[in-house]
Amino acid sequence: MKVKCCVCDKVRRESGWEVPVAGEMADGNVSHGYCPECADTAFREIRALRYEREACAKLAANH
Ligand SMILES: [Zn+2]
């Protein structure tokens, strides 16, 4: 089964994550995931969101 990044559409190969060639993903046997780059970005966004929430909670507690 192929794994395709749901953010940048790159596909995982033995050599690494690359842009798929035309028709390569047409067989439908594709699983969606994150390439390391996009996983890193997504992880950072999640952390930023959590940080914002914690900051809000602290502000609310001070009032
Ligand atoms: Zn990606």
Annotated domain spans of the chain: 2-61
Answer for the pair 8, 37: CB distance below 8 angstroms, yes or no: yes
User: For residue 36, what are the contacts with CB-CB under 8 A and spacing of at least 6?
Assistant: 17
Measured distance CA(13)–CA(42) in Å, rounded: 21
CA 29 to ligand 1 center in whole angstroms: 18
Structure tokens at 58: 């602290």
Which pLDDT score is estimated for 28? 78
What is the C-alpha separation between 21 and 40, in angstroms, rounded?
24
Full-prediction pTM beyond 0.75?
A: no
Report the share of the chain in percent with pLDDT over 70: 100
Q: Ligand 1: distance of its center to the CA of 36 in Å?
A: 7
Higher pLDDT pick, 28 / 45: 45
